[in-house]
């Protein structure tokens, strides 16, 4: 410790170096890119006009760079416009982000039961490259998926495809299996195998058993990783414990781009300190699920971190 006694106090240069290293090593934990999925349960104009409900929904969306909403009842586009208007009007409270949307047409086999997939995304961190409405004749899904190709300058993986899922409960097993056909179609269309499926799979409880998994290619093909496990409860009711909502990614490159352990349910009742269960249940009987992607800078950081930690220890020794 002769250096300390001779100098009296730490060198400003060493203090600056330590501050920089601390910031650099901690950077990855605060720079994630969050993708969310939420079954909002018949989000129609009546619900979209309820200030308290939309304000709660906006707080959920503000956490996400991309947020998929399912079960939106919007035959004339007014619900989508209402949501965007509210979210962008309130965004100054949550970082001044500007959100845009990309959505499907009304989907469903019955003319009176059409629902939309709606992606809300931050224009500062991500852009939409293209979209593709998957269709077959006869239809193989109750609501055929809308695939959207996104691009982000801030993420480790630059181009990726998100495919929303909202299966019909009696046919959940068959529809989940057919997602493999959707994967083949969109990955070939855009020459990109970085595909994520997300949404209400109905992949639990009575709708999908352990035996059913043997019939589903997204389970039997090891290239697909299920980020939300079977024992996770994505429902609001205390009477159910079912992992209906899932996030599935294809390929090692996409999996490496995911922040470990970041895929989870967002219990906004707890996180937002809501005192009444009715405040949550009026919005949906599901909780949102989410996952984070690594920041672009984290690739070099991961390789450099052991050296940086040693260097920090060395600097701190002298301090």
Give residue for tokens 């046919």: 171
Is the pLDDT at 8 greater than 60? The verdict is no
The pLDDT confidence band at residue 92, using thresholds 50, 70 and 90, is: confident
User: 90-94, 139-143, 224-228 — which is least confidently predicted?
Assistant: 90-94
Residue 6: inside a domain: no
Q: Residue 90: inside a domain, yes or no?
A: yes
In a domain, 91, yes or no: yes
What is the per-residue pLDDT across 60-82, written as a single tens digit (0 to 9) for each? 999 999 999 999 999 999 999 99
Give a yes or no: residue 41 inside a domain. Answer: yes
Q: Are 166 and 146 in contact (CB under 8 A)?
A: no
Asked if the structure places residue 18 within a domain, the reply is no
Predicted confidence band of residue 4 (pLDDT cuts 50, 70, 90): very low
**Domain range holding 48?**
30-303
Calpha distance 149→53 (Å, rounded)? 30
pLDDT, mean of residues 92-108: 92
Per the CB < 8 A criterion, the answer to whether 72 and 116 are in contact is yes
Q: For residue 90, what pLDDT is reported?
A: 85
Instruction: Of 164-178, 191-205, 291-305, give the lowest mean pLDDT range.
Output: 291-305
Q: Are strands 33-43 and 66-72 parallel, antiparallel or unpaired?
A: parallel
Contact 160, 195 (CB under 8 A): yes
Confidence at 12, pLDDT banded by 50, 70, 90: low
Distance CA 33, CA 259 (A): 9
Per the structure, the count of domains in the chain is 1
Residue 8 lies in a domain: no
Q: What is the pLDDT of residue 284?
A: 95
pLDDT for 221-258, tens place per residue?
A: 999 999 999 999 999 998 999 999 999 999 999 999 99
Residue 310, in any domain of the structure? no
Cα(151)–Cα(84) distance, integer angstroms? 21
Helix axes 12-26, 298-318, angle to 10 degrees: 150
- CA distance between the termini of the chain: 9
Instruction: Pick the range with the lowest mean pLDDT from 15-19, 44-48, 109-113.
Output: 15-19
- The pTM assigned to this predicted structure is 0.84
Instruction: Report the chain's mean pLDDT, rounded to a whole number.
Output: 86
pLDDT of 180 > 90? The answer is yes
Q: Report pLDDT for 315.
A: 41
CB 157 within 8 A of CB 178: no
Asked if residues 47 and 53 have their Cβ atoms less than 8 Å apart, the reply is yes
Higher model confidence: residue 3 or residue 157?
157
Tell me the residue ranges of DSSP E strands in the chain: 33-43, 66-72, 99-103, 116-122, 127-133, 146-151, 159-166, 195-200, 224-226, 245-250, 264-265, 289-293
State yes or no: pLDDT of 53 exceeds 70. Answer: yes
Q: Kind of pairing, strands 146-151 and 127-133?
A: antiparallel
Q: What is the CATH number of the domain that holds 107?
A: 3.60.10.10
Exposure pattern of 116-128 as b/e (b: 16+ CB <10 Å)?
bbbbbbbeebbeb
Q: How far apart are CA 163 and CA 248, in angstroms?
A: 10
Q: Which of 23-37, 237-251, 271-285 has the lowest mean pLDDT?
A: 23-37
pLDDT at 102 over 70: yes
> Is residue 311 predicted with pLDDT exceeding 80?
no
Give a three-class secondary structure readout of 184-248.
HHHHHHHCCCCEEEEEECCCCHHHCCCCHHHHCHHHHCCCEEECCCCCCCCECCCCCCCCCEEEE
Mean pLDDT for the stretch of residues 80-100: 90
Q: Predicted confidence band at 24 (pLDDT cuts at 50, 70, 90)?
A: very low
| Residue 24 lies inside a defined structural domain of this protein | no
What mean pLDDT is predicted for residues 2-9? 40
- Give the pLDDT confidence score for residue 174 in this predicted structure: 97
How far is residue 172's CA from residue 200's CA, in Å, rounded to a whole number?
10
Give me the percent of the chain exceeding a pLDDT of 70.
83
Q: Helix, strand, or coil here: 170?
A: helix
Pick from 234, 164, 225: which is nearest to 204 by CA? Answer: 234
């Amino acid at each position: 410790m002769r250096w300390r006694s001779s100098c009296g106090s730490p060198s400003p240069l060493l203090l600056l170096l330590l501050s920089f290293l601390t910031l650099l090593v901690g950077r990855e934990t605060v720079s994630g890119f969050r993708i969310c999925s939420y079954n909002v349960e018949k989000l129609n104009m009546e619900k979209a006009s309820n200030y308290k409900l939309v304000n709660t929904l906006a707080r959920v969306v503000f956490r996400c760079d991309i947020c998929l909403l399912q079960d939106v009842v919007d035959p004339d586009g007014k619900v989508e416009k209402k949501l965007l208007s509210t979210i962008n009007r309130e965004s100054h409270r949550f970082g001044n982000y500007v959100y845009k949307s990309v959505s499907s047409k009304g989907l469903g086999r019955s003319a009176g039961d059409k629902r939309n997939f709606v992606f809300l995304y931050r224009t500062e961190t991500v852009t939409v490259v293209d979209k593709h409405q998957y269709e077959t004749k006869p239809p193989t899904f109750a609501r055929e998926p809308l695939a959207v190709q996104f691009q982000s300058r801030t993420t480790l993986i630059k181009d990726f495809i998100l495919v929303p899922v909202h299966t019909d409960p009696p046919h959940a097993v068959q529809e989940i299996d057919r997602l493999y056909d959707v994967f083949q179609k969109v990955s070939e269309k855009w020459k990109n195998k970085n595909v994520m499926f997300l949404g209400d799979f109905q992949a639990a409880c009575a709708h999908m058993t352990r035996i059913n998994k043997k019939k589903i290619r997204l389970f039997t093909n090891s290239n697909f990783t299920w980020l939300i496990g079977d024992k996770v409860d994505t429902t609001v009711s205390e009477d159910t414990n079912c992992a209906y909502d899932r996030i599935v990614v294809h390929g090692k490159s996409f999996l490496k781009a995911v922040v470990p352990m970041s895929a989870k349910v967002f219990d906004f009742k707890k996180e937002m300190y809501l005192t009444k269960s009715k405040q949550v249940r009026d919005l949906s009987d599901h909780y949102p699920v989410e996952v984070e992607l690594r920041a672009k800078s984290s690739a070099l950081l991961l390789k450099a971190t052991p050296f940086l930690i040693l260097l920090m220890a060395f600097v701190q020794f002298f301090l």
